[in-house]
Structure 1
């Protein structure tokens, strides 16, 4: 029995809640803008503000994950950001909302470093693409749920109640995590056969360190050219992801004249479609990688192909039919989410020791989100200057094309290994 899938489900729901809380402000932006009397540029600052401390907290959180483990750090993180979301409901203006968003960013900085480390500890290498895609698919289902559910709540009960509901969901997840999650070595609900499968196959295909070789550490990771290249490609995908996350509802309302509820429905469609297609791409990627040396960076081809798919966003300004626009958004968002998931898998393919996994993922997440923090601000500035969204989509398309080139040619080397093939075992498909 594949009881490890319960862990995959916990990771999926973690990112879903993470993004529900992030998107609550975007869904409620019209009501908040009117109540607080703020400009589009100030709204752009609010929409990006949770990233300000999030960025600086990522690497310390990754190091804490590698030192204290995933169970404790994940629990602390969702507890902090759920409290911050609850406090957002009591905000009285721009500055009080800004403070709660900053606090939320600190809490949310734990999710990807801890989640990535859980994947390295729990997932057979032959399932890594699928499991990572499922983990990251929560970042699409979350906004879809927010777009549908929170739009109804905001429309019926006001924006403050929507923040209260979002916070309550986080506290429910926290209780489930503390009750059920343990390392595979210690999870009493895991069968001996499945435990042996996980422990014997989670490192296949990886450039393993020798027995007397210590973990790399932050300084060695930052000296790796591969880490920097993956960080850049990650940033190109994250930029466009945050463009969707923060401005898509506003685009549909301002440019297409949709109501709050209808824009919520139309926002949900690309997210739901991308979540399903992204998991499918992850499964196809696992099949394509079967029998190959994952420590040689073979998964970079999947990353590059997904980024090229995402460049479809470039054509949105030239389209008029809302159905074609939604299809374009869906495929572009699919490419972004699949590229991010494949990059997370690529890091775990190329990192020699799982003891460095949390820190390595924190590094690429930090750099990637430096791009992400610019998306709402740059787009807000473009809207203020041009009174339309078109150039925001063009900027995203150009970045995605550059990211595909960098991924294909600069992310092939194992991290911290003199030779790509040192201590590498070929990754078989997991047996069940």
Structure 2
């Protein structure tokens, strides 16, 4: 009965062209993703001040990054399952509210175990955001638009770290690093309340016209659309699942290094002042955001052009190209150490391809399984990527502390990207 009422809509909702409600929903996902990654980046922005005030080391900062990533990885599996089981809205709102509280708790820390607890809680409650976002996109967008939609919301994982440095640096200089964490937490709670008030599924959102709902549910252009319900455990037996996991290792490994260490790296090597550090740190992540959007758009367009191949096969080819480019750019980051402009350019290119590869990865689950398992498969992919990628902040911190150089960590990142 619920579905009938949702589909048989009043005449007032009929329009000649599809509406734009789905794009407003995408805007909410983009905003939440940006806040998600601003919260993650906050540690790297505050790191120089925490080191000076509390006597922490680069290895300590790396360990905090690894604690977050490892927790985030393991909680991917129940997060995706819960999203498919309970629905996207309640899981998303609870996650957003509690990860914001975890961010704010960093402000009251004075010892490593305080900060470790906060980052572990952040990992737990941020774990649903990506698989649940992929599920929402699968519910709100037809197959022909999903690649572009994924590229837009996933670009928030780069736009967040891009806007974080100048904004958070300003907050630190004006109010202190502890106040910065509190302000971030309040911002996240405000967005969670807004999502709770405004979000509905397409069938139950009175702003959605009958034409837009028909557009969202259109499947005639996707002859390869998956059907049927796959048991959750069987997802682990599919070769495609493990191919997705390996591809995501390259993305997470590289991204974790930048998110945790980029400001500290620029400060250590080039002694960039706080006022300028935020802006220089923003550049590579902004380029990464552009890469995410273009990667999603290109994936959609390329799949349409290569009509003799399934969209999934096209995305595999695109991912291979992006992965190779990411490996090359990671090497360039290492070998241009000492040349500021060249190194910043290499970092920007690395994050461009990292963003593009991430967008391709998050568009694949909807090509492989039906909507009832999109979040679950996406969470498995993200679990594998973050399980392996969780080593990169800790290993980078150890290598930097022991060698005093960032060369080896980035060359190692290139090897990981090339192999995956």
TM-score scaled by length of structure 2? 0.91
Residue 344 of structure 2 aligns with which residue? 326
User: Residues 27-106 of structure 1 correspond to what in structure 2 (within 5 A)?
Assistant: 27-106=45-124
- Shift >3 Å, 4+ stretches: 291-296
Residue 429 of structure 1 aligns with which residue? none
Residue 322 of structure 2 aligns with which residue? 306
**Cα distance 1:27–1:390, how it changes in 2: closer, same or farther (>3 A)?**
same
**Alpha-carbon shift at residue 295 of structure 1 (Å):** 5.7
Q: How many residues align?
A: 398
User: Residues 177-188 of structure 1 correspond to what in structure 2 (within 5 A)?
Assistant: 177-188=195-206
C-alpha separation in 2, matches of 1:208 and 1:47: 37
**Alpha-carbon shift at residue 9 of structure 1 (Å):** 0.7
**Cα distance 1:296–1:151, how it changes in 2: closer, same or farther (>3 A)?**
closer
More helix, by proportion:
2
Kindly provide the CA deviation profile for residues 174-202 of structure 1, in whole angstroms up to 9, marking residues without a partner as x.
Answer: 11111111111111111111111001239
C-alpha separation in 1, matches of 2:290 and 2:53: 37
Q: Is the Cα contact below 8 Å between 1:36 and 1:94 reproduced in 2?
A: no
C-alpha separation in 2, matches of 1:370 and 1:10: 28
C-alpha separation in 2, matches of 1:340 and 1:203: 24
Q: Is the Cα contact below 8 Å between 1:124 and 1:202 reproduced in 2?
A: no
C-alpha separation in 2, matches of 1:203 and 1:158: 53
Residue 399 of structure 2 aligns with which residue? 382
Q: Is the Cα contact below 8 Å between 2:51 and 2:57 reproduced in 1?
A: yes
Q: Does 1:22 align with 2:43?
A: no
Q: Is the Cα contact below 8 Å between 1:8 and 1:131 reproduced in 2?
A: yes
Alignment partner of 1:297: what SS? helix
Aligned pair partner of 1:365 in 382, 389, 395: 382
Q: Is the Cα contact below 8 Å between 2:399 and 2:405 reproduced in 1?
A: yes
Q: Does 1:144 align with 2:158?
A: no
TM-score scaled by length of structure 1? 0.89
Aligned pair partner of 2:280 in 260, 266, 269: 266
Residue 240 of structure 2 aligns with which residue? 226
Aligned pair partner of 2:408 in 377, 391, 396: 391
C-alpha separation in 2, matches of 1:294 and 1:133: 19
**Alpha-carbon shift at residue 221 of structure 1 (Å):** 0.3
Flag structure 2 segments of 5+ consecutive residues without an equivalent: 1-18
**Alpha-carbon shift at residue 216 of structure 1 (Å):** 1.0
**Cα distance 1:202–1:10, how it changes in 2: closer, same or farther (>3 A)?**
farther
**Cα distance 1:201–1:140, how it changes in 2: closer, same or farther (>3 A)?**
same
Flag structure 1 segments of 5+ consecutive residues without an equivalent: 404-432
**Alpha-carbon shift at residue 49 of structure 1 (Å):** 1.8
**Alpha-carbon shift at residue 95 of structure 1 (Å):** 0.8
**Cα distance 1:140–1:316, how it changes in 2: closer, same or farther (>3 A)?**
same
Q: Is the Cα contact below 8 Å between 2:103 and 2:122 reproduced in 1?
A: yes
Alignment partner of 2:108: what SS? coil
Kindly provide the CA deviation profile for residues 24-45 of structure 1, in whole angstroms up to 9, marking residues without a partner as x.
Answer: 1110001112222222212211
Kindly provide the CA deviation profile for residues 262-307 of structure 1, in whole angstroms up to 9, marking residues without a partner as x.
Answer: 2221110111122123212321221111163546532111111111
Residue 418 of structure 2 aligns with which residue? 401
C-alpha separation in 1, matches of 2:335 and 2:311: 42
Q: Is the Cα contact below 8 Å between 1:125 and 1:205 reproduced in 2?
A: no
